[in-house]
Amino acid sequence: MSDGPVYLHIGLKKTGTSYLQSLLRANPDALGAQGLTMVPHNQIASRQLVRALKDQLQEGVDAPRAKRALERFPRELASAPGDRVLVSDEVFGGSTEEQVARLGEALGGREAHLLLTVRDIARTIPSAWQQTVKGGSQVPYEAFVDAVVSREGEVAAGFWRAYDVPAMLARWKGLVDPSRMHVVLLPPPGAAPTVLLDRFCGVLGIDPASLTAESVRANESLGRAQAELLLRINGLLAPPTFRRDLHGPVLKRGFAIGVLAPQKGDRIPMLAQHRAWCEEHARGVIEALESGGYDVVGDLAELHPHDSAFADELTPVDEREVTDAALRALATILDGQVADLRRERDANRAARAQQRDRS
């Protein structure tokens, strides 16, 4: 046990967070051998902590023990083995200054470090739109982009609360000195797939080669036709389906990630008409990071958008592709139901045979 530093990985969303969390949680022994422990003990408990911090727990939706998540947190830190702790949940990033202060109180005076994974805005916006659709949104892509660029309306407010890097870092300065704020940049398209992990592990003092990638989960992107299909389905669902504890496992993880994402499909680009805006945004973020005294891991030039992120126009989605995505999704679901039924029958037969053998 120790009172060593606590590393808070707070986002950004859609910057490899699911992959990093899944990989690290799958290797507790390797982390422990290098002095690092993840707290809370799993991703569900981590999300309960964030919701407790933000007063977002819902009666009948969240487990009763979730109400005590913030109360348990200091004890979990105190009992964690090793010389440092990692707390990782991208929903932390949108915390207000008051919520950051509450989390600081729970740390009990331990030294805090911040990790923020960041990528260029031209790849961020399409991914963020897909994430809202996975969450039940019915806002079309073009309308989403227009709102984000103009910074007007509820859609824009939600986006920038989660993706405004300078504003987010400023909200956490009351808890973490800028010199201990580690901004880990995602490499541009075409870079080696290990670059992000190498950079992230470098901050934590972990050897990435010690981590095995079996059963690691990533929050895969949807293709254009698949995203369009889900957008239409969202408009047909009954209101009770959107209850968080139902929608998450069934629609988001079960259908969007489990059924639609594996179909792949065409990438969703930014329109070339927004390139100048993306470049201006990148320059502003780079200037803020250069002057803020932060520990930047990677090359700030990687925040400039890559040519491959843009398309001259966004052609309408081919209806045949949407239909094909729907049919393939239905086939996947039916195949899954048949496989479940076969497993259930096989288990029942085995149980009956075992019972006969005892008779």
Structure tokens at 103: 């989390």
Q: Which domains does the chain have, with CATH numbers?
A: 6-221+269-312 (3.40.50.300), 222-266+318-359 (no CATH)
pLDDT at 125 over 70: yes
Q: What is the pLDDT of residues 51-102, one digit of tens each?
A: 999 999 999 999 999 999 999 999 999 999 999 999 999 999 999 999 999 9
Strand segments, DSSP code E, in the chain are: 6-9, 36-38, 84-88, 112-118, 181-185, 270-271, 295-297, 310-311
Q: What is the mean pLDDT of residues 136-148?
A: 97
Average pLDDT, the chain: 95
The strands making up 36-38's β-sheet, listed across from edge to edge, are 36-38, 84-88, 6-9, 112-118, 181-185, 295-297
Structure tokens of 171?
A: 């909200």
Burial (CB count within 10 angstroms: exposed 0-12, middle 13-18, buried 19+), residue 261:
buried
* Each residue's pLDDT tens digit, 149-159: 999 999 999 99
Burial of 152 (0-12, 13-18, 19+ CB in 10 A): exposed
This prediction has a pTM of 0.92
In a 3-state reduction of DSSP, which class is residue 163? helix
Question: pLDDT digit string (tens) for 248-279?
Answer: 999 999 999 999 999 999 999 999 999 999 99
What pLDDT is recorded for position 359? 74
**CA separation for the pair 177, 205 (Å, rounded):** 19
Instruction: Tell me what pLDDT residue 98 has.
Output: 97
pLDDT in the model for residue 2? 66
pLDDT band of residue 1 (cuts 50, 70, 90) is low
What confidence score (pLDDT) does residue 357 get? Answer: 85
Could you please report the per-residue DSSP string of 197-241? HHHHHHHHT--GGG---TT----PPPPHHHHHHHHHHHTTS-GGG
Counting residues of the chain whose pLDDT is more than 90, the rounded percentage is 92
CA pseudo-torsion sign 157, 160, 162, 166: negative
Average pLDDT over residues 103-109: 95
Q: For 152-188, write each residue's pLDDT tens digit.
A: 999 999 999 999 999 999 999 999 999 999 999 999 9
Q: Which two tokens stand for residue 148?
A: 């984000």
